[in-house]
Chains A and B, each alone.
Chain A
Amino acid sequence: MAANIQHPFEPPSSASSESDDGDVCLDDREIFLADELCEDAEHYRRSDVVTPTPQSPRPPSTGSQKSPRSRRQRTTSMSQSSKKTSAESILRSKTRTIYTAGRPPWYNSAGQQVEPFVIGICGGSASGKTTVATKIIESLNVPWVTLLSMDSFYKVLNEKQHELAARNEYNFDHPDAFDFELLKTTLQRLKEGRMIEVPIYNFVTHRRESRTKTMYGANVIIFEGILTFYNVDVLKLCDMKVFVDTDADVRLARRLRRDISQRGRDLEGVLKQYSKHVQPAFYYYIAPLMVHADIIVPRGGDNEVAIELIVQHIHTQLQLRGFKLREKLAHSYIGQPLPSSLYLLPDTPQIKGLHTFIRNKETYRDEFIFYSKRLIRLVIEYALSLLPFEDVTVETPQGVLYGGKRGATNKICGVSILRAGETMEQAVRDVCKDIRIGKILIQTNQQTGEPELYYLRLPKDIKDYRVILMDATVATGAAAIMAIRVLLDHDVAEENVLLASLLMAESGVHSIAYAFPRVKIVTSALDPEINEKFYVLPGIGNFGDRYFGTEPSDD
């Protein structure tokens, strides 16, 4: 596979083995394309593009998605590995995080996943599969594409096989070399929009590394490898099947060039492996898979016409699944009774007084911050009271027993929706000692009005936690729904999510409750309307701007 070419840093020994696929041991299998280069203005944040440093393969951020920016000019071909971005949703240079354009919604207005479009690309070793994949991605203009390679799914070799591999005698081109079970479950989960851990196969040790690479579902998933159509179940997951058919001479020539000049192997070894494994496997296993293909692309990545056709088809498919969430969210549910999952703080004079301070546009920022904090604390205290408790009896220093309550779980974490939700973090820390706090950055795309996911960082085992999701205000609920969707994609149980806000609009509450009826919704005030700019009325204004002092100067 062409893919290999791209990696400059191939693990040495891996080279010995077979096909190109092998090389991919690093994480790059996932490409994310686009992001690297965009310079669009609106995406301020990304300054220069740093290549996603290969050396830090699993950068911290959990988000793996990458979002390609649509109109970016790609200055280099994807296949240079240096250019490839790693799988993170955010690119990390040594000290900085570079934000890519955010990920738009990948679910419908009911909060349910919309299935991604899965493209399977099959073809012989060095046929140009990765090049084709890359070109599709480049011309797609779709923000979120995930590239999954079969190379991640080689089986772990035992001692003996390992020795064979060292002598170029292990057959990496045979179907038995792949763990199709794992591949199937992984692709299935990806298709369901779940977060997955993709194994990182080490071609030196022929084992899976203990670390894995995190990937997410995307609007489009491209799955490539020499035997992608081999397993029936896997084949069924593909919405479109592409076979890259490149002349055998060309493939051999590419292999020779790659293995010898890039991996320092000798001609004899390469030829031996080619004739013993690569070539027979192609004729026995790979070539027959061509019958499954919807499209056969001769000459691989050079075939512009074929790629163009494929891209058009994908576009059509994606449009069928399109959405315009926010607009829809803002106008539903008018006049319906409030959902039972809504918990409104008792309407006390203090709470009303605090709201009076923070809603007043004349309030200075120091007072705004101070009173916001007081209100936030009350909201958080109230939210905690909704968590499960159990009865306990304790002994008192006075010698009597006291029947009380204790929280039924200490696995509680906070997740704030940046930026405004971050203002609530301190209150959570003030009431829960040592609580873990995750963050999700969601911003509204000014052009489409849709929320976009830019960044997320969550506790690793978040699925075991009760999550207090924090955002200062909820208008249409679009950002909250996206955040909840993210949590569910990380296997957090819906009933374990509690959304806490200072102020919500009724329509947002309805939308969230409709999409996620088991999520508890806590707020200190409920406003009836949303204006055309999606601000709550009467509202607070832009809470984040007022709290952090970043209001536009004309205000």
Chain B
Amino acid sequence: MGSTDTTTKLLIDSHEIEEYGTNLKILPCNNQVKELQTILRDKNTTRSDFKFYADRLIRLVIEESLNQLPFTKCVVTTPTGAKYKGLKYQKGNCGVSIVRSGEAMEQGLRDCCRSIRIGKILVESDADTHEARVVYAKFPDDISERKVLLMYPIMSTGNTVIKAIAVLKEHNVLEENIILSNLFCTPIAAKSLVTAFPKMKILTSEIHTVAPNHFGQKYFGTD
């Protein structure tokens, strides 16, 4: 990921991510992805552009997250009568979004997996203590059998997500069955997540010391 001098310190390059282990992956960056990130970072971006480009980036992140799912090889016959060596994904996946900004990613998931089940978790921080606590959670009954795509776009401390994962584990979801799908992550959050849940897979588009915390407000228009 190219970056200018002013930001190299802030941005974690892909070759530096080894310290986070192999389960943390960064969306392969290209100019196009960088442009999307730039637009989302720019304070002069209009709301309509913000939503439009956020949706595009989300779609790419979701597509890439799906690449983390397990698959098996198979052979199909094409209309020309020839064989094609392909692969297929297993059934039994679901999405879980963390209210509210995680919900922004639901449509992207739906666009890729039409009828996937989606659970929700609402985590709020206590106004005084800043302690995150779970106030609502609703999942598919058999979530413990499923692979879970956990969606949350912005992580600055990682506390919210850590809480959410704790809830999933209470529902007997295996840590290795969780894929966390994220747009922007800070090094601190990345570190604490891989430390707390070493078997969980994490996919983000960028690790940068400053998180774009305006995301939810701007996306939903509540600023």
Contacts and interface: CB of A to CB of B under 8 A. Distances in A.
A178 B211 CA distance: 69
B7 A359 contact: no
Contacts of B138: none
A395 B83 CA distance: 53
Interface in A342-378: 346, 348-350, 352-353, 355-356, 359-362, 370, 374, 377-378
B44 A360 contact: no
A435 B44 CA distance: 22
Nearest to A536: B80
A294 to B, nearest CB: 52
Nearest to B34: A405
Contact of A401 (B7, B79, B89): B7
Contacts of B132: none
B171 interface: no
B88 A356 contact: yes
B84 A381 contact: no
Interface of B: 2-7, 10-11, 28, 30-35, 37-39, 41-44, 49, 52, 56, 59-60, 63-64, 66-67, 69, 71, 74, 76-80, 82-84, 86-89, 111-112, 114, 210-214
Given A353-B89, A394-B41, A537-B82, 6 more contacts: A350-B67, A359-B78, A396-B212, A397-B43, A531-B80, A541-B79
A349 B87 contact: yes
Contacts of A536: 80
Contact of A360 (B30, B33, B38, B76): B76
Q: Count chain A CB atoms within 10 A of each CB in B39, B74, B80, B111 and give the residue with the most.
A: B80
B74 to A, nearest CB: 7
Nearest to B211: A398
A226 B89 CA distance: 74
A389 B49 CA distance: 18
Contacts of A406: 35, 38-39
A330 to B, nearest CB: 15
Contacts of B32: 381-382, 384-385, 387, 389
A546 interface: yes
6 contacts: A374-B63, A381-B32, A385-B33, A397-B43, A397-B214, A537-B82
Interface in A504-555: 531, 535-542, 546, 555
B149 to A, nearest CB: 13
A404 B34 contact: yes
A403 interface: yes
A395 B38 CA distance: 10
Contacts of B5: 403
Contacts of B3: 403
Contacts of A398: 210-214
B78 A360 contact: yes
Given A537-B82, A555-B79, A356 B74 contact: yes
B6 A539 contact: no
A365 to B, nearest CB: 12
- Which 10 pairs across A and B sit closest by C-beta, in order of nearness? A541-B79, A404-B38, A356-B86, A403-B4, A385-B32, A538-B82, A360-B76, A394-B42, A389-B31, A385-B30
B41 A396 contact: yes
Interface string A123-135: 0000000000000
B18 to A, nearest CB: 20
Contacts of A350: 63-64, 66-67
A320 interface: no
A391 B2 contact: yes
Contacts of A431: 56
Contact of B35 (A393, A396, A407, A537): A407
Contacts of A402: 7, 38, 41-42, 210
B86 A404 contact: no
Q: Count chain B CB atoms within 10 A of each CB in A352, A362, A403, A431 and give the residue with the most.
A: A403
A539 B79 contact: yes
A405 B78 CA distance: 41
B52 to A, nearest CB: 6
A378 to B, nearest CB: 6
Contacts of A392: 38
A324 B3 CA distance: 51
Nearest to B75: A356
A403 B7 contact: yes
Q: Count chain A CB atoms within 10 A of each CB in B5, B34, B84, B114 and give the residue with the most.
A: B84
Nearest to B6: A401
Contact of A389 (B34, B37, B69): B34
A536 B112 CA distance: 27
Interface in A399-441: 400-407, 430-431, 433
Contacts of B79: 361, 539-542, 546, 555
A381 B30 CA distance: 10
Q: Count chain B CB atoms within 10 A of each CB in A352, A382, A433 and give the residue with the most.
A: A352
Contact of A397 (B52, B67, B112, B212): B212
A180 B193 CA distance: 77
A124 to B, nearest CB: 62
